[in-house]
Structure 1
Amino acid sequence: MAKVSVKDIIEKFELELISGEEGINRPITTSDLSRPGIELAGFLDYYPAERIQLIGKTELTFTEKLTDSEKQLRFEQLCTDITPGIIICRGLDVPSMLIEASEKEAVPLLRTKQKTTRFSGLLTNFLESKLAPTTAVHGVLVDVYGVGVLITGKSGVGKSETALELVKRGHRLVADDCVEIRQEDENTLVGTSPELIEHLLEIRGLGIMNVMTLFGAGAVRTFKRISVVMDLELWDQKKQYDRLGLDEEKMKIIDTELTKLTIPVRPGRNLAVIIEVAAMNFRLKQMGVNAAEQFTNRLAEQMSDR
């Protein structure tokens, strides 16, 4: 899991640092946020201290009804040694007692001019993307007709050459050799390229080439959701390959299962065209059109009529 610190969100959202500067390197371990209204009222049995605390107009207006001793106690209870930070929204004035409490425990106290609900959504999306589970896979990721195709296979089987042919045919390269994958949602995997090899493609005998320089900005993408895995393997005469397309194999990456197609490789097979057709056929299946099932149903009908 990637590490995110309070300093990262200060830079990302241009937040104003009020106090607690010593704690700006505190790690943020969850994308969940907390609006500590009930805690300011005195109920702290389930206080989620490990979350970023968002304080808006409602919470600050409530604290004005408390006595000075109550305010001091509540603010000190909010500032713990594991609290990543406290953010005041709407550019509101910060109570002096809260500043003192944050300085005492080195809890960063920040301020933004944005409305609480709006900022809450932006911050949650940012943290979810940064804290999402990640992994890396050896392969090539290409955007083919809007379908994110992850091409896998043993080294030297022809993954990069196939990707080059797909780029020449108007499709877009996302990553070659190493694909960094993060799970942004329950069934959503997004692939990107490591910064060092972004837009680069390695072809044995030719070396490394820059796809964007050769084919233009329209030939590359920064990221793409992965929809299907196409595994290239050398043709094995002893192996039975699926000829109808009824058997659907799955490949699990992190916690998400993806459709996996095994494509045997041998001289004379145009892999780029096969992958193009496979991507289009995958889209048709997603829309409810399954040619293999239709053929099987027609065959069953003809056999039953005899």
Structure 2
Amino acid sequence: MVNSRTSELDHSTIKPNRKIWNQVKRDYELYLFLLPIIIIYLVFKYYPMYGIQIAFKDFSPSRGIWGSEWVGFKHFIDFFDSYNFWTIMTNTLTLSVLSLVFSFPAPIIIAIMLNQMLAKRYKKIVQTVIYAPHFISTVVLVGMLNVFLSPNSGIVNHIITLFGGDPIMFLADEGWFRPLYILSAVWQETGFATIIYLAALAGVNPELHEAAIMDGASKWKRVMHVDIPSILPTIVILLILALGNIMGIGFEKAFLMQNDLNYATSNIIPTYVYEIGIQKAQYSFSTAIGLFNSVVNIILIITVNRIAKKLTETSLW
């Protein structure tokens, strides 16, 4: 009796395995296409996780990762107790939250406006103009900021002095760092992000608009009661991703815009990790900071995903 049951269990486990293997054999071309991506992720995403353990060690290049002394959570505690911990956290969160507040709604608004636009030629011109900044590299963008905002030769300060004002040292003033960072990001990324919402709006059933017009609904009411509810799942998914990455603000632009005069507000977690890890060679300490940042992002994305699933029944998983 026992043998018959075990044979049935073996047969039940072998059958799904054969089914999966048959599917792989049938669609092997698709799996071959996926293979390079899988290898890239394994090599550049998963294999580097091997080095995360130095966050819990007093890493020495001569001893290697395994030979370095284990110190546990010492580097995390040192970071939490450091004199500039709250300054760095405040700068990172403030810049991230303000970027989200101003950057996230902008492509939604522009996509709805473009979707309501009847002049197709003008619509294409507007799309091209707002898409173009996305293809400007970060280095070039910061260079443009330096040229346009120069206190001596910048066009912005020329306009200010033309109206009787005094030249402003924008990039040397810590109060101007966040507005410049956020506004330049809105200008550069809004057009490209608009594509996603335009694609979602293209999938809205035209019959809904026709029914709303028959009921006498204005354009504003059609936007509020047809367009926005139709693209709400897309908005929720992108909002979850944005909130989950709220601590993962980019390093390149902040580092390129940073100088000694605006350091008080431009010193965020990514630039601090670079300063400690690369410039001062404190590898374990900088790895601990980076790991802390990643853990916070993971907790945020899981939390926001659960909240969104309960409130809107839309989630990543």
Normalised-by-shorter TM-score class: under 0.3
Relative to total residues, which structure has the larger helix share, 1 or 2?
Answer: 2
The higher relative CO (CA closer than 8 Å, separation ≥ 6) is in 2
* TM-score normalised according to structure 1 size: 0.21
